[in-house]
Structure 1
Amino acid sequence: MVLHTLNQAPANAACMASALAAMTAQDTLLLIEDGVYWTLPTFASQLANIPGSVVALAPDLQARGLTSDAIESVDDAGFVALCVSHDKVVSWF
C-alpha cells in the first residue's frame, strides 16, 4: 500500500495524471496544500474513478476556505496515521 500525497492545484493536471497512473486499488491519495482544490465541484468528478481512496488534509481545506462532503478529510494526526499505516509515501509536486 502506498500513500500518494499531491500538493498541486488543478492547473497542473499532468501531476494528477501521473499520480493516478501510479496508483492501485490498495493505495490512498492524500490531497494537501493547493491539491485540496481538486475537491471543488468543478474537479471532484475526476476523483470519482480513482483507484483506491481519496482523502484531503482538513487544515489545508480550512486555510483555503473549502469544505468537502464528498471526500473524507483528516487532521494532522490523521495524516501521520496514514503515513504509518502505508508501506511507503510518494509525494507528487
Structure 2
Amino acid sequence: MSILHTVNKSPFERNSLESCVQFASDGAAVLLFEDGVYAALAGTEAESRVREALGRLEFYVLGPDLKARGLSEDRIIEGIGVVDYAGFVDLAAEHDKVQAWL
C-alpha cells in the first residue's frame, strides 16, 4: 500500500517532518506545502534530515506555496520535485492513502 504523506508545518516550529520521516515506510512520498515548504530549502537545519530520507522516500514541494513565501525553486534541495496544484492532485490519486502530519 502506497502512502502520500503531507507536511504543512515549518520544521522550525513543529516536529511534523521528523515524525513523518521516522514513521514513513520506504518508497512512500512526502509532499511539503504551506509552511512545510521551508523543509525543502537547501542550507537550513532541516536539510540534513531531508537528505538522509531522500534515499528511501520521494519528496515533493508545492511550487505555488514556495512563490507565496517569496522563495524560488533554485533554493530547493537537489532531488526534491516541484509540483503545482494539478501535481498535488495527481500525487493523491496515485497513492492508496494520504496521511497528514500536523
TM-score, L = length of structure 2: 0.83
User: Does the residue aligned with 1:25 lie in a helix, a strand or coil?
Assistant: coil
- Aligned-residue RMSD, C-alpha: 1.4
Count of residue pairs the alignment pairs up: 93
Does 2:59 match 1:60?
no
**What stretches of structure 2 of length at least 5 have no aligned partner?**
none
In the TM superposition, what whole-angstrom CA distance separates every residue of 1:47-72 from its partner, at most 9, and x where no partner exists?
11113111000110111111226221
Q: Which runs of 4+ in 1 moved over 3 A?
A: none
1:1-93 to 2 correspondences below 5 Å:
1-41=2-42, 42=44, 43-50=46-53, 51-66=56-71, 67=73, 68=76, 70=78, 71-93=80-102
Deviation at 1:45, TM superposition (A): 2.5
Separation in 2 of the partners of 1:22 and 1:88?
A: 15
Q: Distance in 1 between matches of 2:6 and 2:28?
A: 11
* Structure 1 spans left out of the alignment, 5+ residues: none
The percent of aligned pairs where both chains have the same amino acid is 40
Give, in angstroms, the shift of residue 13 of structure 1: 4.5
TM-score by length of 1: 0.90
Offset at 1:85? Answer: 0.2
Match of 2:82, SS state, is strand
Distance 1:40 1:85 in 2: 25
Counterparts of 2:50 and 2:14, CA distance in 1: 12
